[in-house]
Structure 1
Amino acid sequence: MRQLPIRVLVGIFGIAGVLAWAVAGTWDSYGSLPGVPLFAPLVLAAIAAALAATALSLRSRLRAQRERRPGAKGVEPMVAARAVVFGQASALVAAPVAGGYGGVAVFLLTAGLAGGTRGSQALYAGCSVVAGAAVVAAGLFLERVCRLPEGGDGSGDDGPGLSAA
């Protein structure tokens, strides 16, 4: 598997942000813009926490396996491969979601925060952008943890779990 380029994620984020800003402006001109749910940043933060916990667990298991500690539980190649796919998929989904919420937040801030409702909506959208960025970062960290070591050809010399990515 190839490593997910950060520039692709930034491009997806930017395109989604511009589209969301334009759609939010159009939608608001025809009526009331739908609200940003309170649970949006909470769900994204929970996904980021799951990705980070998976990455830290795999990192410690791989380190113990490399150091050949007695009783170390190795990492199966398919487990590492699935973790990489989980991290990449999460990052690829979180980038447009965060970009969308970023576009809505920019629209709400530039359209004026008349009333407390728009201010709270802009705050929820901004928190969703931060949580989405945390998902992307945790996904890329998980991908990096499962990467083959330099010079590793997957021949099994470095241990059974290191040839997954």
Structure 2
Amino acid sequence: MNREVKATAPSTLLALFVGAGVIGHVLVRQWYGEIPPLNWYMPIWAGVLALAEAVFGLRLKDRILRRRDAEPIEPIVAARAVALAKASAYVGAVLAGAWTGFAAYTAGEWGFLASAGRDTVICILGAVLAAALAAAGLWLEHCCRVPRDPNDPG
């Protein structure tokens, strides 16, 4: 059975982003006063994971193309990397949308609520780092592509 894995479509990520943004905004608008305060370190994990995936993608690409005397990669490692890449792109898009929806609400309340200014900054940081996670997922997916064989007629 030969199943080809399709590349992640940007339109899918955009739909996830918009959907999560709308849902996040509605939920935060309803329950903002009841949620615990945001801390600056909450969105940091997405940035750490994005950085790790970007570095992993570079090293994986070298191994796939056998650059710099890199040893060949096991097929199962490449398959797992593709699964990680797709999951990261989807999760990053959803989180970026949710953080953006949250930020849209808190930015509108900046002058009225004491915690809104701090929460807006944290939400913007979260949205940026989550978008970086989605981009790192797309990058890792790109790095997993095997170059076409020039002798292959198909």
TM-score, normalised to structure 2, is 0.86
1:40 is paired with a residue of what secondary structure? coil
Cross-structure match for 1:160: none
How large is the RMSD of aligned CA atoms in angstroms?
A: 2.1
Q: Return the offset for 1:149.
A: 2.1
1:6 is aligned, of 4, 7, 10, to 10
1:90-129 map, 5 Å: 90-114=88-112, 116-129=114-127
Cross-structure match for 1:51: 53
| Unaligned 5+ runs, structure 2 | none
Aligned residue pairs total 148
Q: Distance in 2 between matches of 1:72 and 1:140?
A: 23
Cross-structure match for 1:26: 30
Q: Which deviations, in whole Å up to 9, do the C-alpha atoms of 1:43-88 show, x marking residues without a partner?
A: 110110111111011112223x2x6x6x431111111111110111
| Unaligned 5+ runs, structure 1 | 156-165
Q: Which deviations, in whole Å up to 9, do the C-alpha atoms of 1:89-139 show, x marking residues without a partner?
A: 111112111111110100000123445522111101100000001000010
Q: Return the offset for 1:10.
A: 0.9
1:89 is aligned, of 87, 90, 94, to 87
Q: Distance in 2 between matches of 1:138 and 1:43?
A: 13
Q: Is this contact kept in 1: 2:89–2:134, CA < 8 A?
A: yes
Q: Distance in 2 between matches of 1:149 and 1:41?
A: 35
Q: Return the offset for 1:33.
A: 4.2
1:34-49 map, 5 Å: 34-49=36-51
Cross-structure match for 1:133: 131
Counterpart of 1:7 in structure 2: which amino acid? S
Counterpart of 1:61 in structure 2: which amino acid? R
Q: Distance in 2 between matches of 1:115 and 1:107?
A: 11
Answering whether residue 21 of structure 2 is matched by residue 17 of structure 1, we say yes
Q: Is this contact kept in 1: 2:25–2:104, CA < 8 A?
A: yes
